[in-house]
Structure formats: C-alpha cells, structure tokens
C-alpha cells in the first residue's frame, strides 16, 4: 500500500503540478516528436524513484515512466479536443499502471488481484457500485420523464427561451445525487441540509428579456424546485436501500 501511495503522489505532482501548459500543447501538436514528452517521462521516472527510495532498484520507476509516456502518446494522438472521456480514460490507465507497478515491487501480484476480486464480489461493494450508477443517469431519465409536462408548459409560455446551459441541469443533478448518496452511506444527514441550503441560493435574474413574463419566471422556479426534490428523494431512497446490504 505504501508503494502505491508514493507512486500515486509522484503521478499527481508530475502530471498536474510540474507539467506546464506549454508542454501539454506541444505534446498535442507533435505527439511522440515533442521533446517535452520525454522531459515529462524523465520527470516521472526521477520523482517516482526518489519517492520510492529503492535506491538499488531503479527499474520500477523506469518501467512506470515508459508506461506513462506510452499512455500519453496514445491519448494525445486520438484526443484532439480534450474531451472528459479521454481525460478519465487516460487517468484510469495511469492508475492501473501504478497499481501493477506497486504490486510488482511488493511481489504481491497474485495476492493483490485475489484481494481485489474478493472485495469487488462482496454484496456490499456490488450494492454500492450499483447504487452509485443508479443515482446518476437512470434517475436523470426518470426525473426528466416525470417533469416533462411542466417542461412542455414552460416551452409553451416562452417558445424561444434559451436560458439554460446545454446539459448543465443534468450534470448538476447527477452531482447532487451522488453527494447525497455518499452522505447517506456515511450517515452524514446534516450535510444534506447544507446541500439543500446551497441549492436555495439559486435565483433567477429578475431582469428578464423582453417578452418573458413573470408567470414564466415563477413557473420555472417551481419546475426547478419540483425536479430537485424528486432528484433528492430518489437519491436518498437508493442510498437507504444500499445500506440494507451492510
């Protein structure tokens, strides 16, 4: 575990704090031809080697640095727009390489995979993973279906209204539900109250565009409130159901 945490710390420092934006831009433009890619790989090797403190065995740090570079080349070659999907995939690949390196250092590869298998197949873990996934996209669809009549009424009132960021409401809802899910699992119910209080700070600007009625503003506020309460209720219900497997 110590080796894993040390290598993870090295990755975080090098990838997010000691990698200038100019290096990232140059890697995206030139891929494996970028000199900064190799500076970055060298930095991964050096920092990993220093933090590990295995002075007589630099091989793990070297192999991890090479794996880091290969992952970066693959990512910058295919991800030209900097999408969230590629970012998550890139970091997941780095995390897997760090885990494998740590297991190789401690000579616990079979035991490590067996421990992970035993952990993932417990009812508690499966319930938590299923519940977390359920609070995200599935409940978004459910709340969307339940609130559709009010959404259509708002569209009727102001057909040309364009007062929402694309998909912002969906992402806000998923983030809120995931937080509530975690709060319920760790029995921090008071934190849910703070989240509701923070959500209450949301206000619609009363300086509306020409042609937007006060009725639209009032109905839009009620629509957001109803959707929020539905979303919170579903998240709490799923979390309480998951706790039955503890």
More confident residue, 40 or 28: 40
Q: What is the pTM of this model?
A: 0.68
Tell me what the mean pLDDT of segment 136-161 comes to. 81
Which pLDDT does position 118 carry in this prediction? 78
Is 196 within 8 Å of 224 (Cβ atoms)?
Answer: no
pLDDT category, 61, cuts 50, 70, 90? very high
Cα separation, 37 vs 26, in Å, equals 8
pLDDT on residue 68? 94
Cα–Cα distance for residue pair 196/7, rounded to 1 Å: 38
Is the pLDDT at 149 greater than 80? The verdict is yes
Instruction: Tell me what pLDDT residue 203 has.
Output: 52
* Residue 45 pLDDT greater than 50, yes or no: yes
Tens of pLDDT, residues 107-141: 766 666 777 777 788 888 999 999 999 999 899 88
- Mean per-residue pLDDT for 203-227? 66
Sign of CA dihedral 131, 137, 142, 144: positive
164 has a pLDDT exceeding 50: yes
The pLDDT value recorded for residue 202 is 59
Give the DSSP letter of residue 31: G
Dig out the tokens for 178 from the structure.
């995931």
- What whole-number distance in Å separates Cα of residue 98 and Cα of residue 61? 10
Q: Which residue would you say has higher pLDDT here, 184 or 245?
A: 184
Kindly write down the DSSP assignment for every residue of 156-213, as one continuous string.
Answer: HH-TT---S-TTHHHHHHHHHHHHHHHHHHTT-HHHHHHHHHHHTT----SSPPTT--
Which of 222 and 132 is assigned the larger pLDDT? 132
pLDDT category at 207 given cuts 50, 70, 90 is very low
Hey, where are the domains in the chain?
A: 2-120, 123-243
Per-residue pLDDT band at 31 (split at 50, 70, 90) = confident
């Amino acid at each position: 575990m110590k080796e894993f945490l040390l290598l993870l710390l090295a990755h975080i420092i090098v990838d997010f704090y000691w990698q200038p934006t100019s290096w990232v831009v140059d890697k995206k433009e030139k891929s494996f031809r970028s000199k900064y890619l190799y500076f970055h790989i060298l930095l991964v090797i050096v920092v990993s080697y220093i933090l590990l403190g295995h002075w007589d065995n630099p091989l793990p740090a070297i192999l991890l640095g090479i794996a880091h570079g290969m992952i970066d080349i693959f990512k910058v070659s295919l991800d030209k727009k900097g999408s969230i999907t590629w970012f998550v995939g890139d970091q997941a690949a780095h995390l897997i390489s760090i885990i494998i390196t740590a297991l190789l250092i401690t000579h616990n590869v079979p035991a490590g995979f067996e421990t992970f298998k035993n952990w993932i197949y417990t009812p508690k873990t499966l319930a938590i993973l299923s519940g977390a996934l359920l609070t995200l996209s599935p409940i978004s669809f459910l709340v969307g279906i339940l609130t559709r009549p009010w959404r259509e009424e708002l569209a009727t009132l102001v057909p040309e209204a364009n007062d929402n960021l694309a998909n912002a409401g969906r992402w806000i809802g998923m983030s809120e539900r995931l937080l509530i899910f975690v709060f319920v699992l760790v029995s921090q119910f008071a934190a849910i109250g703070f989240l509701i209080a923070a959500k209450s700070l949301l206000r619609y600007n009363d300086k509306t565009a020409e042609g937007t009625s006060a009725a639209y503003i009032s109905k839009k506020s009620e629509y957001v409130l109803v959707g929020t309460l539905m979303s919170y209720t579903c998240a709490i219900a799923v979390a309480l159901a998951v706790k039955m497997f503890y």
